[in-house]
Structure 1
Amino acid sequence: MSATTIPARFAEAFGEWTPRAIVFDCDGLLLDTESVWQRTEDRVVADHGAQLREGDADVLHGATIEVAAELIARRSGHSEQEILDDLHRVFADELGTGMRTMPGAPEILALAGERVPLGCASNSWLASLEDKLVRGGLREHFTVLEASDTVARPKPAPDMYAAAARALGAEPSEVLAFEDSGTGAQSARDAGLRLIAVPTPGFSAPPADLALSSLTDPELAQWIRTW
């Protein structure tokens, strides 16, 4: 362990525990695809006249595209396949307008990646996850990718995080997860990982070992340097 002092919040949350590997969520945590996805949902909801209800936004946050299509179909009376096709089409259109990394993401990936292997776990399909990470300039940081089509059950089931831990050569209890959504946080916790939540602005932090407002928190980098 480095002589660098462990920040008090991290010492309280983790003691002297340090991870053997880290698994990051992607959308809304590393890449600003949440805004792309939100614009996609807004367009498809408006185009099909869907009447969303209280609580639907929480269901859609971090959900797979299939879950989103099923909910919007129920709220609009259109077929699920029609909605799914439109979500794919509109997302590709919105993604073409550009993508940016979330504040602090490249720096934290580089710093952590010097110390432990990194994985990425996303409710996207694998091809989409690969494409987003390449577009965002982050693909090189990861040795393991898990997606909704690489496991039997996507988030919030624990399959994805359990698979990522195995692929990284560690027990789940030895792995740290970073998540922004309740869906992903449940997946990581149920798989047995330790968890730092970095919630999307406007959403409350899900239960976690520690919650941060941003990956730019200087104490996060300070903690990582103690490993």
Structure 2
Amino acid sequence: MTSSPTPAPSSTTPAHELPAPARGWVPSCVVFDCDGILMDTEATWAQVQRLVSERHGLEYTAAQERRMMGWSAADVATAIAEAAQADRAAVYADVLRTEERALSGQIVALPGALETVRTFAERLPVAVASNSTSTVLGLKLEQAGFAPHLSTWVSSEDVPRAKPAPDIYTEAVRRLGFAPSEALAVEDSVVGATSAVAAGLVVVAVPSVPDGDPVPAHHRATALTAPAFRELMAGWLG
């Protein structure tokens, strides 16, 4: 039996530190982010943003990279088009073409990711919720070997709003047949974790940028292979 997460933290608790769920809570399903959690594609995505920005005469700084981390292709295209006063549809097409070329032969699962997904999937329904487009997400999950272990995956094109809105996580949990309070999300970015928290999931943060902005979460670990994450898994899976 599952129970709902405890209420929001008090004003004395940092906003990113959410209280752990009630004692005895275990997930009925798990939803993973993709980039930065399952595969090492965040650097590639940043390079895509840089290339497209520079082609449109824009400087791409470290601050912009950090701000746009986890953004969907649609949101990145909108930001570049507005800054460059360019045609948004043309910029979006450029982002998609550049991403597909950049990912060719570059899709590598992060350490422990495939094992973690497989272990959860042996006991619980598992999904992926990503700001990637549908074509790119399917390509990544198939090539990295995750697809056979997943019940479903949801892209930014499958819902009205991309992360940080809750739509992607809400849809993933709906497809798995559970309430959000019964679901666990595994996220690496502020944008993604904000989406999962807003949808009502319990969140484990595994930040891909350790010194980046604090990722809101109920639990946190440094990596999927870290003792803290393995201890959480053991408690949930028995």
Q: Give me the TM-score of the superposition, normalised by structure 2.
A: 0.84
| Count of residue pairs the alignment pairs up | 217
Contact (CA 8 Å) 1:108, 1:221: kept in 2 or not?
A: no
Give yes or no for the alignment of 1:49 onto 2:62.
no
> Cα deviations across residues 51-105 of structure 1 (Å, max 9, x unaligned)?
3578533441111111101111233333222221221121111111421111210
Deviating more after overlay: 48-57 vs 200-209: 48-57
Cα distance in 2, alignment partners of residues 76 and 51 from structure 1: 10
- Give the alignment partner of residue 233 of structure 2, picking from 219, 224, 227: 224
Q: Which residue of 2 aligns with 1:141?
A: 149
Secondary structure of the residue aligned to 1:120 is: strand
Deviating more after overlay: 71-80 vs 27-36: 71-80
Q: Which residue of 1 aligns with 2:13?
A: none
Cα distance in 1, alignment partners of residues 198 and 37 from structure 2: 20
> Cα deviations across residues 162-217 of structure 1 (Å, max 9, x unaligned)?
11112112111010001111111111101110000111125233110012111111
Moved over 4 A (4+): 52-55
Larger relative contact order, structure 1 or 2 (CA cutoff 8 Å, min sep 6): 1
Letter in 2 for 1:23: V
Letter in 2 for 1:212: A
Q: Which residue of 1 aligns with 2:168?
A: 160
Secondary structure of the residue aligned to 2:204 is: strand
Letter in 2 for 1:141: H
Secondary structure of the residue aligned to 1:149 is: helix
Contact (CA 8 Å) 2:223, 2:229: kept in 1 or not?
A: no
Q: Which residue of 1 aligns with 2:140?
A: 132
Seen in structure 2, the aligned counterparts of structure 1 residues 114 and 97 have a Cα distance that, compared at 3 Å, is closer
Q: Which residue of 2 aligns with 1:68?
A: 76
Q: Which residue of 1 aligns with 2:189?
A: 181
Cα distance in 2, alignment partners of residues 52 and 217 from structure 1: 33
Q: Which residue of 2 aligns with 1:198?
A: 206
Deviation at 1:123, TM superposition (A): 1.0
Secondary structure of the residue aligned to 1:102 is: coil
- Give the alignment partner of residue 20 of structure 2, picking from 13, 32, 54: 13
Contact (CA 8 Å) 1:33, 1:99: kept in 2 or not?
A: yes
Structure 2 unaligned segments of length 5 or more: list them: 2-18
Cα distance in 2, alignment partners of residues 23 and 115 from structure 1: 13
Contact (CA 8 Å) 1:180, 1:205: kept in 2 or not?
A: no
Contact (CA 8 Å) 1:111, 1:224: kept in 2 or not?
A: no
Q: Which residue of 1 aligns with 2:4?
A: none
Q: Give me the TM-score of the superposition, normalised by structure 1.
A: 0.88
Structure 1 unaligned segments of length 5 or more: list them: 2-11
